[in-house]
Amino acid sequence: MTPALRALRDLVWPATCVACGRCGQTLCVGCAVDIMRVRDPRWHAPDPCPTSFPPTVAWGDYAGALRRVIVAHKDQDRLDAGRLLAGPLAEVLALALAGLPDPVLVPVPSSARSRRRRGRDPVVDIIRATRLDREVPVLPVLRHRRRVVDQARLDHDERRINLHAALELRPGWGAVLSERDVIMVDDVATTGATLAEATRALLEDPGGAAVTSLCAAVICATQRHDPSPQPGAAETK
């Protein structure tokens, strides 16, 4: 949907809750309460945890109203949902940024097919709506180098195979990221395969970045358990 059509839709139809569809407001009181029930900002790792999975902080569980808001933003063209998700992202980014002298944010990219279908990149939209206490560059330096299938119905092993060597660092960006504190950003972590592949692409590909530290921030996660305590981004040197 084009921006003009979105604006026309918003004029013609009244606001509805992005999570339950009830008329009257973008997020109804009941769904807001449900979202706060799953709020639990902490360092997270999936179980089982894939090789190369980075230290990752998640705001809450991928469940209930929060899950429905994520889906509405990604697949139902509800851009107002992205503005709601900016608050949780800001909170986890504050945890990830603590004590980092020279950070950059690296969005985990959507596939080219998904971007064409949606006309946008949902993660980049949420980052743009996020307000932080400090200026942090956003560098979209990762890209897909081959086609991947939709992962919604794939299990842990199938996702790992689907994403193996699927991402790459754009040429020339390794030097830009050198000596920087990199925080990868995504909306959801499930099996951890996507963040593990993004880590591999950033650090291990030819021309990979010699970063000072690397971690990730996500809005929500499944299969959550606490890894060893994480005072901040893991050092890579």
The pTM of the full predicted model, rounded to 2 decimals, is 0.84
Confidence of residue 232 (pLDDT cuts 50, 70, 90): very low
The larger pLDDT score, comparing residue 179 to residue 224, is at 179
Determine, yes or no, domain membership for 160. yes
Tally of domains within the chain = 1
Determine, yes or no, domain membership for 185. yes
For residue 173, what is the domain's CATH number?
3.40.50
Amino acid identity for residue 107 in this structure: P
Compute the radius of gyration of the chain from its Cα atoms: 18
Distance CA 120, CA 127 (A): 13
- Tell me the average pLDDT across 68-88: 94
Domain extent, residue 174, equals 41-235
Confidence of residue 63 (pLDDT cuts 50, 70, 90): very high
Determine, yes or no, domain membership for 161. yes
Distance CA 187, CA 179 (A): 26
Determine, yes or no, domain membership for 175. yes
pLDDT tens-place string over residues 19-37 = 999 887 899 999 999 999 9
Would you state the pLDDT for residue 138?
97
DSSP-H helix ranges across the chain: 3-12, 29-37, 64-75, 79-97, 112-118, 122-129, 156-163, 173-177, 193-203
Determine, yes or no, domain membership for 29. no
Confidence of residue 227 (pLDDT cuts 50, 70, 90): low
- Tell me the average pLDDT across 177-202: 93
Angle at 145 between CA 139 and CA 149, to 5 degrees: 110
Would you state the pLDDT for residue 117?
77
pLDDT tens-place string over residues 143-176 = 988 666 665 566 566 665 556 667 899 988 998 9
CA–CA distances in Å: residue 127 to residues 52, 78, 179, 202 = 24, 15, 23, 20
